[in-house]
């Protein structure tokens, strides 16, 4: 069996993805970006540590920073195809800028729609292009107002493709210069991507339209999606007598611990790692061929394991600092040749790093240390917010 030695020295970071919604112009969001990033990150840590009922969101598309390049008005339904730039595609709210050039009568409205770009292929500059097809979302008509505004639709709860088209259809307007509404043009998007064209729905179907790059045909909008905070075990593969493999998925950059057990009482830690790219690949090299096995993955809720602060004392002993997941049984071992290992300390981490001294290091010219997690005995583990998989019944056989 491979020793459960954890050598963790990589650093991970999270980039800001959480602009705040202010007043009624999207471009006003930029100045408070860093503030809301801190607030949302704290909410994320609260959720994973205390299982509080908090909904985490991320901005997956935003075209808000570029200067206003103009306003485009159409009496037909029209909109923009965008490509999301975040992790989630479960949209819960949508914001777009528009300009109303009318005297309000109270009957001016708009409908927002989302389409998958899976319509019948058309040729655009000799390139096959898929226009809007399947309707994904349609709002109720909502009121619009004169001058520059931001429409806020917050009752959305749909999954969208990574690339989709959003459209508007204004009503209660005559379409003349003194009685119309139009979408605001901005470029470039600061989160996500957009093509330099828009889609317009005519009587015979959809057609692309652009302004030959002046301005670039992108409309100002922002898409907010809900982050899935649940852990999952996916891609479960059986490899005969070779170790089974699987993937743990969950919130980006969170630390998770993965266990394996033959009897669902003694749980052997397989890995402690970070969901870089929202995934962690696991191979169970300690399994016994033919032996049923249960796996579970849980948030570690703590700092990764680390050995640091080594200091040789005048009497020849060595002081060091140990860090790791709170409440987990750990063992510190030492060796002079990396072949024969001696237990120095068995303990559980508290909320702070642990300082210890190797009193047997005196007179030894070379000394190696390793820190690893011990087995956990839990007859009835709390599986709340944990992912579980059964081997071999849930694993798909793979060809060698």
Q: Within this chain, do residues 110 and 169 fall inside the same structural domain, yes or no?
A: yes
Task: Concatenate the DSSP letters of all residues of 289-349 into one string.
Answer: TT--EEEEEEE--SPPPEEEEEEE-TTS-EEEEEE--TT-EEEEEEESSSSS-EEEEEEE-
Q: Within this chain, do residues 143 and 89 fall inside the same structural domain, yes or no?
A: yes
Domains contained in the chain, number: 2
Instruction: Answer whether the bond into residue 183 is a cis peptide, omega within 30°.
Output: no
The percent of residues above 90 in pLDDT, for the chain, comes to 64
Confidence of residue 221 (pLDDT cuts 50, 70, 90): very high
Query: Among residues 199, 226, 253, which one ends one of the domains?
Result: 226
Confidence of residue 54 (pLDDT cuts 50, 70, 90): low
In a domain, 21, yes or no: no
pLDDT digits (tens, 9 = 90+) for 1-12: 323 232 222 222
Asked if 227 and 254 touch (Cβ cutoff 8 Å), the reply is no
Q: What average pLDDT does this structure show over 62-76?
A: 94
pLDDT value, residue 30: 28
Integer CA distances (angstroms), 97 to 8, 62, 193, in order:
46, 11, 17
Top mean pLDDT of 40-54, 133-147, 300-314 is at: 133-147
Q: Within this chain, do residues 49 and 146 fall inside the same structural domain, yes or no?
A: yes
In a domain, 303, yes or no: yes
In a domain, 13, yes or no: no
Q: Within this chain, do residues 262 and 373 fall inside the same structural domain, yes or no?
A: yes
Q: Within this chain, do residues 212 and 332 fall inside the same structural domain, yes or no?
A: no
Integer CA distances (angstroms), 143 to 105, 184, 288, 342, in order:
11, 17, 65, 74
Confidence of residue 62 (pLDDT cuts 50, 70, 90): very high
Q: Within this chain, do residues 60 and 107 fall inside the same structural domain, yes or no?
A: yes
- Identify the three-state secondary structure at position 140: coil
Integer CA distances (angstroms), 160 to 17, 84, 117, in order:
19, 10, 11
pLDDT value, residue 326: 80
pLDDT value, residue 14: 21
Q: What average pLDDT does this structure show over 230-247?
A: 94
In a domain, 359, yes or no: yes
In a domain, 241, yes or no: yes
pLDDT value, residue 24: 28
pLDDT value, residue 252: 82
Q: Within this chain, do residues 262 and 208 fall inside the same structural domain, yes or no?
A: no
pLDDT value, residue 302: 61
Q: Within this chain, do residues 165 and 304 fall inside the same structural domain, yes or no?
A: no
In a domain, 4, yes or no: no
pLDDT digits (tens, 9 = 90+) for 76-107: 999 999 999 988 899 999 999 999 999 999 99
Gap between the Cα atoms of 259 and 167, Å rounded: 47
Query: Among residues 226, 245, 264, which one ends one of the domains?
Result: 226
Q: Is the pLDDT of residue 133 over 70?
A: yes
Q: Within this chain, do residues 222 and 261 fall inside the same structural domain, yes or no?
A: no
pLDDT value, residue 303: 66
Q: Is the pLDDT of residue 37 over 50?
A: no
Q: Is the pLDDT of residue 292 over 90?
A: yes
Q: Within this chain, do residues 128 and 44 fall inside the same structural domain, yes or no?
A: yes
pLDDT value, residue 23: 26
Q: What average pLDDT does this structure show over 140-146?
A: 97
Confidence of residue 282 (pLDDT cuts 50, 70, 90): very high
pLDDT digits (tens, 9 = 90+) for 341-395: 999 999 888 777 889 999 999 989 899 999 988 888 887 777 777 999 999 999 9
- The secondary element (H helix, E strand) that includes residue 181 is strand 180-185
In a domain, 175, yes or no: yes
pLDDT value, residue 25: 31
Q: What average pLDDT does this structure show over 29-33?
A: 26
As given in the structure block, the two tokens for residue 385 are: 């917010």
pLDDT value, residue 17: 23
Query: Among residues 200, 226, 252, which one ends one of the domains?
Result: 226
Domain that holds residue 80: 26-226
Top mean pLDDT of 55-59, 81-85, 271-275 is at: 81-85
Q: What average pLDDT does this structure show over 281-294?
A: 93
| Better pLDDT: 256 or 253 | 256
Q: What average pLDDT does this structure show over 155-181?
A: 96
In a domain, 19, yes or no: no
pLDDT digits (tens, 9 = 90+) for 316-340: 999 999 988 887 888 999 999 999 9
* Strand 255-261, strand 266-274: pairing: antiparallel
Q: Within this chain, do residues 183 and 272 fall inside the same structural domain, yes or no?
A: no
Q: Within this chain, do residues 64 and 169 fall inside the same structural domain, yes or no?
A: yes
**Rounded mean pLDDT of the chain?**
84
| CA angle (317 as vertex; 316, 319 as ends), nearest 5 | 135
């Amino acid at each position: 069996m491979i020793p459960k030695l954890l050598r963790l020295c990589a650093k991970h970071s999270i980039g800001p993805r959480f602009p705040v919604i202010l007043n009624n112009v999207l471009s006003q969001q930029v100045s408070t970006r860093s503030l809301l990033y801190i607030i949302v990150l704290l909410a994320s840590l609260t959720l994973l540590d205390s299982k509080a009922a908090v909904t985490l969101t991320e901005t997956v598309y935003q075209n808000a920073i570029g200067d206003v390049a103009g306003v485009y008005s159409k009496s037909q339904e029209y909109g923009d195809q965008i490509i999301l730039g975040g992790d989630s595609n479960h949209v819960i709210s949508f914001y777009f800028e528009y300009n109303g050039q009318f005297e309000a009568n109270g009957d001016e409205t708009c409908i927002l729609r989302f389409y998958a770009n899976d319509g019948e292929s058309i040729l655009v500059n000799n390139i096959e292009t898929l226009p809007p097809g399947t309707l994904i979302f349609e709002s109720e008509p909502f009121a619009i107002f004169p001058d520059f505004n931001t429409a806020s639709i917050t009752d959305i709860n749909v999954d969208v493709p990574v690339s989709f088209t959003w459209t508007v259809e204004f009503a209660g307007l005559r379409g003349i210069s003194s009685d119309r509404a139009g979408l605001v043009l901005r470029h470039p998007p600061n989160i996500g991507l957009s093509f330099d064209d828009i889609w317009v729905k005519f009587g015979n179907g959809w057609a692309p339209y652009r302004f030959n790059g002046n301005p670039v045909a992108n409309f100002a909008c922002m898409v907010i999606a809900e982050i899935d905070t649940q852990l999952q075990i996916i891609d479960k593969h059986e490899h005969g007598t070779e170790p089974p493999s699987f993937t743990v998925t969950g919130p980006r950059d969170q630390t998770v611990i993965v266990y394996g057990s033959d009897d669902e009482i003694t749980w052997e830690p397989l890995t402690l790692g970070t969901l870089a790219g929202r995934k962690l690949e696991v191979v169970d090299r300690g399994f016994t061929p033919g032996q049923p096995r249960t796996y579970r993955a849980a948030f570690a809720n703590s700092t990764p394991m680390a050995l640091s602060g080594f200091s040789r004392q005048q009497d020849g002993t060595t002081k060091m600092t140990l860090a790791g997941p709170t409440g987990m049984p750990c063992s510190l071992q030492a060796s002079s040749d990396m072949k024969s290992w001696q237990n120095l300390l068995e303990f559980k981490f508290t909320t702070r790093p642990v300082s210890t001294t190797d009193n047997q290091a005196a007179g030894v010219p070379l000394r190696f240390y390793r820190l690893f997690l011990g087995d956990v005995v839990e007859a009835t583990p709390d599986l709340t917010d944990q992912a579980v998989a059964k081997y071999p019944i849930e694993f798909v056989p793979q060809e060698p």
